């Protein structure tokens, strides 16, 4: 594990509605400049863990009941989700949330709303998103509801980038998208990681694509982290892949 992680999750347990146990002991860390894949089948607890990291569980009547989560050395349990965004912990939720009646550019600009400083930098940040996803530049004046699923996911990611993440957290960005689009999205994330050192935590059921781009991976099974390994090692170990990830 990294020495000075930007995110550290240790022995975390969580429940919904005070009763339904969803996490029973999760350990995970993201080093500065790393891409970490959070893998596991449907219902393993990936979304619950990501909600816990952004302190979004209370909104789902969920609670972290044990363990500790720190971002940049600080305990996250005291910070609101919006404070966490302002301090650089930015999450793109599952299901590519865009405002369908707003244009692509208006959606992107909503990502800059929480910023304390003036408008300076907003134009540069928009240009950065457009150079990362040229399709969005072409559709900047199109309502998001009229763009493709891939373009909506790119818009959701671009909106997150407008909040200037230090740790970018993504929940299942490949969901429902064609393989070519998924690769386009992951290679854009990889470029941000390589060129700017952006730290990334990405939950994926699509382990093949996540392992292709990640440095390390943590596997969740029934709310427990059961394996942590280098992505290269996991990719090459067919036996482990079959056992933990259904051979996908």
Contacts to ligand ATP by CB under 6 A: 16, 20, 22, 40, 42-48, 60, 205
The answer for residues whose C-beta is within 8 angstroms of residue 23's C-beta and 6 or more apart is 12, 13, 14, 45, 48, 49, 52, 223, 224
Please report how close the Cβ of residue 205 comes to ligand ATP at its closest, in angstroms.
6
Please report how close the Cβ of residue 45 comes to ligand ATP at its closest, in angstroms.
4
Partnered with residue 5 across adjacent β-strands are 31
Please report how close the Cβ of residue 34 comes to ligand ATP at its closest, in angstroms.
21
In the bound state with ligand ATP, the residue whose beta carbon lies nearer, of 43 and 176, is: 43
Give buried/exposed letters for 133-166 (b at 16+ CB in 10 A, else e): bebbeebeeebbeebeebbbbbbbbbbbbbbbbb
Please report how close the Cβ of residue 175 comes to ligand ATP at its closest, in angstroms.
8
CA distance 40 to 56: 20
| CA-CA-CA-CA dihedral for 18, 23, 25, 26, to nearest 10 | -140
Using only C-alpha atoms, the chain has a radius of gyration, in whole angstroms, of 17
Beta carbons of 67 and 113 less than 8 angstroms apart = no
Please report how close the Cβ of residue 38 comes to ligand ATP at its closest, in angstroms.
9
């Amino acid at each position: 594990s990294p020495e000075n992680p930007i995110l550290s999750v240790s022995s975390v347990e969580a429940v919904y509605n005070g009763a339904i146990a969803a996490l029973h002991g999760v350990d995970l860390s993201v080093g500065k400049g790393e891409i970490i894949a959070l893998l596991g089948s449907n219902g393993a607890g990936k979304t619950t863990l990501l909600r816990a990291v952004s302190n979004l569980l209370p909104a789902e009547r969920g609670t972290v009941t044990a363990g500790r989560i720190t971002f940049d050395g600080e305990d996250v349990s005291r910070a609101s989700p919006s404070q966490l965004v302002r301090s650089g912990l930015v999450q793109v939720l599952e299901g590519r949330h865009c405002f369908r009646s707003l244009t692509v550019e208006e959606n992107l600009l909503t990502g800059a709303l929480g910023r304390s400083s003036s408008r300076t930098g907003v134009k540069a940040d928009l240009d950065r998103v457009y150079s990362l996803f040229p399709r969005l530049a072409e559709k900047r004046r199109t309502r998001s509801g009229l763009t493709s699923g891939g373009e909506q996911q790119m818009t959701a990611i671009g909106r997150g980038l407008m909040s200037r993440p230090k740790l970018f957290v993504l929940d299942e960005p490949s969901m429902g998208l064609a393989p070519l689009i998924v690769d386009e999205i992951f290679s854009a994330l990889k470029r941000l990681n390589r060129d700017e050192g952006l730290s990334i935590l990405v939950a994926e059921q699509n382990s093949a694509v996540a392992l292709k781009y990640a440095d390390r991976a943590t596997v969740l099974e029934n709310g427990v982290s059961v394996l942590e390994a280098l992505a290269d090692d996991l990719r090459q170990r067919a036996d482990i892949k079959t056992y933990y990830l259904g051979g996908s």
